[in-house]
Amino acid sequence: MEADFKTIALVGKYNSPACGASLLRLAAFLRERGHEVVLAAHTADLCEIDDLRGYRVSTLKEIGGLVDLALVMGGDGTLLNIARALVDHRIPLIGINQGRLGFLADVPLDTMFSTLDEMLSGQYMAEDRIMLEASVERHDDILIANYAFNDVVVSKSTMGRLIEFEVYVDNQFVYSQRADGLVVASPTGSTAYALSAGGPILHPTLEAVVMAPICPHTLSARPIALNSRSEIEINLIHAEDARVHFDGQQHADLRIGDRVVIRRANNTIRLLHPEGHNYYDTLRQKLHWGEKL
């Protein structure tokens, strides 16, 4: 049965001219299938002006109210960025891998047309994943609020010295820690920075988050999995130089006394995968998980 994706957005990696030719071929393919195509403005910048005739060009902010589906061409970082931009519009995303890992962007470039033809005809698997939202509070003011699909990280910055912070979960004191920082990751982000910090792999459909300290100055600190409905508060006690990072793509400087409050976002991100998608296959292929030494 044909999927009801009448209008489709094409979004490419920022400042990546290599995406231009593939995006135009994809736009022509979608038009031949009868879809209306909307190009993200920064994506259109990768193409020649003459090649854009007949295609609508809109900003990401506008696209959320125009399309039924977004095709994201690039790597996992590109998909993280677009997920944050479109989460409030509940637009399903399909990732086409033109990056390195391709953990989230799982449609191969070399089979793009045949795979998308099947998916746009209704042969796909849908998966809803939670998103985090975080705010930085100083006294009674909210300095910044942002989404994160992978993780929110409080860490030392350029000085390279340990920072000290207190952690509360649902207003209950958890611990005081001296460390390089703390990663709070969604199930999607459990295979990213949190994994390198010793955290567990969470299946992407779990209602949980991971809290993993980065190089803690103690032998007893261990990662912990929490209910996704928990509110996590990180209070900065001492730091000469600290920052909070959202998916490693956006950041804000922190001062002593600042509070970083992390919650589950109200909306989820819907990823569409090719039919037969297997998460455990992805772990084995991309992270070499479970291989015998």
Helices (H), the chain: 18-32, 41-44, 60-63, 76-86, 112-120, 193-196, 279-287
- pLDDT attached to residue 13: 80
Active-site residue, selected from the candidate residues 76, 180, 247, 258: 76
Residue 58 near residue 38, CB atoms below 8 Å: yes
Eight-state DSSP code of residue 40: E
CATH classification at residue 69: 3.40.50.10330
14 with 78, same domain: the answer is yes
Q: Is residue 284 situated within a structural domain?
A: no
- pLDDT of 161-189, one tens digit each? 899 999 999 999 999 999 999 999 999 99
Q: Is residue 273 situated within a structural domain?
A: no
Tell me if residue 106 is catalytic. Answer: no
- pLDDT attached to residue 133: 97
**243 pairs with which residues across the strands?**
155, 253
Query: What percentage of residues in the chain have a pLDDT greater than 90?
Result: 71
85 with 181, same domain: the answer is no
As given in the structure block, the two tokens for residue 189 are 């982000």
Terminal Cα-to-Cα distance of the chain (whole angstroms): 45
- pLDDT attached to residue 18: 64
Q: Structure pTM?
A: 0.92
Domain that includes residue 251, residue range: 131-266
199 with 153, same domain: the answer is yes
CATH classification at residue 253: 2.60.200.30
60 with 186, same domain: the answer is no
171 with 247, same domain: the answer is yes
**97 pairs with which residues across the strands?**
74, 108
Q: Please tell me the total count of domains within the chain.
A: 2
Eight-state DSSP code of residue 118: H
202 with 108, same domain: the answer is no
What is the average pLDDT score of the chain? 91
Residue ending a domain, choose from 85, 102, 122: 122
Query: What percentage of residues in the chain have a pLDDT greater than 70?
Result: 92
- pLDDT of 42-101, one tens digit each? 776 666 545 666 788 898 889 989 999 999 998 899 999 999 999 999 999 999 988 666
99 with 136, same domain: the answer is no
